[in-house]
Amino acid sequence: MRLTVGQALVRFLAAQRSERDGTEHRLIEACFGIFGHGNVAGLGQALLECEFPYLQGRNEQAMVHAAAAFARTRNRMSTLACTSSIGPGATNMVTGAALATISRLPVLLLPGDVFATRVADPVLQQLEYPGGGEVSVNDSLRPVSRFFDRVWRPEQLPSALLGAMRVLTDPAQTGAVTIALPQDVQAQAWDWPAELFRERVWHVPRTPPEPAALARAVELITSAERPLIVAGGGVLYSEATRALRAFAGAAAIPVAQTQAGKSSMRSDDPLCVGAIGATGTTAANELARVADVVIGVGTRWSDFSTASRSVFGHPGVRFVNINVTESDSVKLAGVAVTADARAALEALTQALDGWAAPPRQLHIAIGLSEAWEQAVTAAYTTRHEPLPGQAEVIGVVNEVAADGDIVLTAAGSMPGDLHKLWRTGDPGSYHVEYGYSCMGYEIAGGLGAKLAAPDREVFVLVGDGSYLMMASELVTAVQEGIKLIVVCVDNHGFASIGNLSESVGSQRFGTSYRFRSKTGQLDGDYLPVDLAANAASLGVHVLRSRNIRELREGLEQARASDHTTFLLIETDPAIPAPSSDAWWDVPVAEVSGLESTRAARTAYERGKHQQRTHW
């Protein structure tokens, strides 16, 4: 079959399927694209001729964010491709690729590249690298991709595509996958074997635990007096929520959740003690401080989850790490069980049949959780004047949202507040991107989540800082008739970093949106930025809320609507959410002429004394 490289690539993608537990999925459901001279005549023409589903992006980084959110919502069984031109279009995708790879989310990037023939070098937007002619700006995608290849000749395409699909469907190795496509090669014709375009099913395995590793885990767990389970994102990706509940229930072990693992259990489950770590609940963190055995399931043990390795305080604490990725299963000197989360939990439940932790631990956990729930209720319902706090905004969204709806955010103070406060319902209803915590992910991610789950309402919570970074995909949502409910919290600056700045003695320097005053500092009046007017100019329906009552009315109106709605409410960033009573390692200047910094350094040194290596 004689086709161009671009046409062959699109036909190949259309024929790829993923499968797990007997259920097949279309692996690449659509292609986001922004066309330029580096891809319009190749992939652009191919997408037109082959009628592969195409989505018109507005920002290349946002396209990748949307693809990552799509993949997360589909539990990594399906994803989207993203094509850009060479030059700034390609390098714009680097940030999105980093987010996808750090958060272990499969996305396929197809940037255009320089001419393979080099006849007209340097072409527009070409980097002239003196160390070698084979280097282009696309090489900046190498360190943030789990797989990278460049197709210099048509006959290289099949091996590049097969390598890309292998990584996209590997639960242990997945992340951003990049195939760089020289613009002349994209348009070059070749005689392809027909079998390249036949339907191909990529089987996603459930790796079982190795028997000796399982035995070691059982031995350690049965020695525990105060065990604790920490559920990570791998529980959701493995669709292991029922297996987790069955294991925790049979063994009478309370369950804490990381950011990625939140919604692996319902918040009202007696076994659930909520979020753990620096943005956690006091219930989970108090149990973590006394736990003698911690069972991590599908977590990579980030610094937030471990409160910078200060929250697990028992002098003899040991870890069991269940993870499909071997490098994660050996962290914290744990007993490594390198396996699929569901397969491992089911095997543990069977191996521990008849054993349960001492009941006192669970009774304590229930009491701690009830106390925390009272704190959440107070944060949700206390009405501050003249401006509400962010917790009040979260509370009313939580009340309006149904169990199956999705709440989504990524950066600023919102992820931490949601982690500790949000009351979760169905699995996957909590979507906070905190691996890279990228400002600008929110609206693009909401678009991707809604594309992946069109029957679920998607509530995007975004601060004014993140909104100003990247609101462009509101236009795509309008164009495609995709409904989002976007709640924008306007606190005139970077609230999270403002609070952090104050805590380290830097007095919120450079974190507010203010005019420069006669003193030479940015401490004048607030900037007259009208975010609602901006959103309206992008074609969405806009509602301004002066208080929580009006916000509730607006949310109910937005829920009943068929169109994207943008709700704006001003908040007071100085009103905090309840404290997690945990620490986070952010170094403070060791010497300073500022009293605020010296005081913060003293507090920092106290925190460092709690930190442990767990070697």
Cβ-based neighbours of 67, under 8 Å, separated by 6 or more: 32, 79, 80, 81, 82, 96, 100, 107, 108, 448
C-alpha distances out from residue 393 to 31, 490, 575, Å: 35, 11, 12
185 Cα distance to chain centroid? 34
pLDDT tens sequence across 83-137: 999 999 999 999 999 999 999 999 999 999 999 999 988 988 889 888 888 899 9
% pLDDT > 70, the chain: 100
- What local confidence, expressed as pLDDT, does residue 579 receive? 93
Identity of the residue numbered 295: I
DSSP 8-state symbol, 404: T
Angle separating helix axes 359-381 and 282-290, nearest 10 degrees:
150
Give the helix/strand (H/E) hosting 56: strand 54-56
Both tokens assigned to 414? 């919102």
Q: pLDDT at residue 504 above 90?
A: no
How far apart CA 452 and CA 472 sit, in angstroms, is 19
Across 169-183, 483-497, 581-595, the highest mean pLDDT is recorded for 169-183
pLDDT tens sequence across 198-251: 999 999 999 999 999 999 999 999 999 999 999 999 999 999 999 999 999 999
Both tokens assigned to 302? 């980030």
pTM: 0.96
How far apart CA 578 and CA 550 sit, in angstroms, is 24
Cβ(19)–Cβ(71) below 8 Å: no
The C-alpha torsion from 286 through 288 and 293 to 296, rounded to 10°, is: 140
Identity of the residue numbered 559: R
Q: pLDDT at residue 496 above 80?
A: no
C-alpha distances out from residue 447 to 187, 471, 475, Å: 31, 11, 10
| Long-range contact pairs involving 359-362 (C-beta distance under 8 Å, separation at least 24) | 359/252, 361/225, 361/226, 361/227, 361/252, 361/253, 361/254, 361/287, 362/252, 362/253, 362/254, 362/270, 362/271
How far apart CA 571 and CA 531 sit, in angstroms, is 14
Q: Which of 327, 168, 300 is nearest to 230 (CA)?
A: 300
pLDDT tens sequence across 540-581: 999 999 999 999 999 999 999 999 999 999 999 989 999 999
Residue-range domains of the chain with CATH: 2-203 (3.40.50.970), 211-370 (3.40.50.1220), 382-492+527-570 (3.40.50.970)
Cβ-based neighbours of 302, under 8 Å, separated by 6 or more: 258, 434, 435
C-alpha distances out from residue 203 to 11, 165, 589, 597, Å: 20, 11, 51, 55
How far apart CA 39 and CA 64 sit, in angstroms, is 17
Q: Tokens 């009351």: give the residue.
A: 423
In this prediction, residue 68 has a pLDDT band, given cuts at 50, 70 and 90, of very high
Coil vs helix vs strand at 543? strand
Cβ(146)–Cβ(175) below 8 Å: yes
How far apart CA 170 and CA 167 sit, in angstroms, is 5
Least confident of 237-241, 410-414, 446-450, 504-508: 504-508
